[in-house]
Amino acid sequence: MLCTFFLTTTLFAAEADEVGVEADEAIRLPEARVEDVRDTPEHITQEEMERDGVTDLWEAVRYVPGVILSGGGRRNDSNFTVRGYGADAVPIYIDGIIMANPYRGEGDAARFLTGDLESIDIQKGYSDELLGANTLGGAILMRTAKPRNSFEASVKTSLDFDSIGKYADSTHVLSLGSRLKYFYTKAVAQYRDINHFRLPGDFEPTKYNPQEKGDRLWSDSKDTKITLLAGFTPFPELDIWANWVYQTADKGFSTPETRTREYQIWDWPVWNRQSSSLNGTYTADVWNIEALAYFDKYDNRLIEYYNWKAYTLGIHHEPSDYDEYTAGGHLKFGWDINSWNTVRSGVTYIKEDHKSLSDGEEQVHVNEDTWSFGAEYSMNYWEPLTVNLGGGFNSLVPIDFYGDENEFMKALGDHYYVIKTKPMFLYTWQAGLFYKLTTSHELHLSYARKNHFPTMSDRYSTRFGRKLPNPNLGPEIANHFEFGYQGAILEKLTINTAVYYSIMTGKIVNIKLPNPEYPPVEVDYARNLDSTSFYGFEFSPELFINSFISSGASFSYNKYTINNSLQGVLKLDYYPEITTNAYVVINLITKAPDKAKWLTQLSIIPRIEFIGSRYADTAGKNELDSYFLGNIKLVLGITKYCTISTSVENIFDEYYEIRENWPLAGRSFNISLTAKY
């Protein structure tokens, strides 16, 4: 019925659609063919997200070389590392707006639904100097899709069922857009309802633990996202647009550890985010200007239960609420001086405000300003060689700080726990050499020095007297080196590969000190003492044989050295040495046959993924087994407007964990219907 509706609608709209691309291009299955040598596995298109059936950022980045997924735990967050650098060191941007929790400096990647996106870019180490502060390990850039046609619409409904055929979850995306001569607008509504996931059949319960065989306890959640975009293009060189995004989620209870008897239970009933932004770009001959102003509001609530018995009795701490916002913008300039010299510069301003409330009463209030100035210079005096140089200056200026504990300590004269804020200043710089062997083969060598301001939590948290605050905590600093190759061979095979080395110094670590007020008891104190090196090799080939078969793969060899660890850390937890995956696209039908013009596509897409063994603790005593996952997908095109797909995830019902005692889903089945015009 949905496809029939779209077929009827498009008969009336077809004559008016004289702008943009053909509709069948919008739903064409992505192949491994790469026409641009700079099209890398770190650039994820909407087509690739649809091919892999992803619904959020966490799922979208899982096949990128150097990216390792993390998740589970009491916070119930889903995050990832990039070449060893965690969520607070690799900021996430959506259309230039940083998507971090101001107090902790990180977000939850599973909350960022991707149905409204055009692309995702993962920058590793060597990253855009105009992004601003805190790109210690790189950056994630998400871009909202703009309309391309005078009228476009799409509806997608996806249903998942567990290994015994029971409803597990569903995702729904509705998109409407229009681009006219001077105006464009787009609206996207997304809703995801996760009822549960079912554990693999090999799972064995632990005595006195509430987790039984079958459905994963408290694996339910709900997400809603609405995106509204409107733009004005009075002439081709100028584009001005406003964007409003509303997100709400019920993350539910944190799933419990499966092999322990006593544990805390955290409930996250509220996760809300609302962003408003005004953007503009102007390009004229050799000049270009980009401007952004935004306001981003974030709220969440945590309810903590002491243990299982307390949960059954409804006994919990007072609700803890975060009331936060960021506001700011950037102004960027570009100037093509001549055919071999280009300059880019920019200034970024961010105001971050955090309020922590307990049972409605304000406990902590922090307000800070971050100013960033960046510049990049590119020169190409000799045709094969391009040299890029960049530098940046960042300042963090505390504006206001209030803490009820802080006021209490002042009254007591307990100066050890009294927080005194101070500004901080950091510098970054980088250089890159890009040498074209031919038009289709390029070598690159890069160096980048990046850093990261300590978060509000790092500097100010006292954890109810269990930690000494350290407002003088310094930055974490990273030096990145990379040598790589990108190339295309006969328009059939593309290769992206790199070797890298990165050393992080001043790594923040909590040490134990005698409590100044009561020395027999120890408290935590954060200091910049540790150092770790990350190094490895990444290899990503893509092969386009013909219109019927193509394939792609990625392989990462991940190593590290702990140069200094005051706490005696011997191993990095959850850091596998080997990660790899591969897929094949088999197109049995690539155009409508004469006898069945309604059938436009029939494709089979198998994919495999392997994650090597890794330690679950820093002492190197507990090791998680490696795991191998297999998926397969069937895509059927019905006319050029509709596609139906069905897939099986984790075909072999493999038992696996990315965090110890937090197993993930077993075999599941998916059916999806997409209608586009």
**What are the structural domain ranges in the chain?**
2-359+371-676
From the centroid of its chain, how far is CA 241?
Answer: 24
Whole-number Å distance between alpha carbons of 11 and 151: 12
Q: Environment class of residue 41 by beta-carbon count within 10 Å: exposed (0-12), middle (13-18) or buried (19+)?
A: buried
Residues of the chain with pLDDT under 70: 1-39, 409, 414, 416-417, 464-465, 592-596
Element (H, E) at 24: helix 23-26
Q: What share of the chain is helix, strand, coil (3-state, %, to 5)?
A: 10, 60, 35
SS3 197: coil
pTM of structure: 0.92
Per-residue model confidence (pLDDT) at position 35:
39
Per-residue model confidence (pLDDT) at position 554:
97
Per-residue model confidence (pLDDT) at position 596:
63
Q: In the 8-state DSSP scheme, what is residue 207?
A: T
pLDDT tens, residue by residue, 173-203 = 999 999 999 999 999 999 999 999 999 999 9
Per-residue model confidence (pLDDT) at position 7:
43
Q: How far apart are the first and last CA of the chain?
A: 15
Instruction: Convert 378-443 into a string of H (helix), E (strand) and C (coil).
Output: EEEEECCEEEEEEEEEEEEEEEEEEEHHHHHHHHHCCHHHCCCCCCEEEEEEEEEEEEEEECCEEE
pLDDT tens, residue by residue, 437-475 = 999 999 999 999 999 999 999 998 877 667 888 888 999
Per-residue model confidence (pLDDT) at position 515:
80
Per-residue model confidence (pLDDT) at position 17:
42
**Cα torsion through 210, 212, 214, 219, rounded to 10:** 20
Instruction: Choose among 358, 368, 367, 369: nearest CA to 404.
Output: 358
Per-residue model confidence (pLDDT) at position 593:
60
Per-residue model confidence (pLDDT) at position 416:
67
Whole-number Å distance between alpha carbons of 149 and 24: 13
Locate 216 and state its tokens: 């994963």
Going from the C-alpha of 453 to that of each of 136, 350, 426, the distances in angstroms are 9, 13, 8
From the centroid of its chain, how far is CA 80?
Answer: 7
Q: What is the CATH number of domain 2-359+371-676?
A: 2.40.170.20
For residue 351, what are the contacts with CB-CB under 8 A and spacing of at least 6? Answer: 326, 327, 328, 367, 368, 369, 370, 399
Whole-number Å distance between alpha carbons of 124 and 132: 15
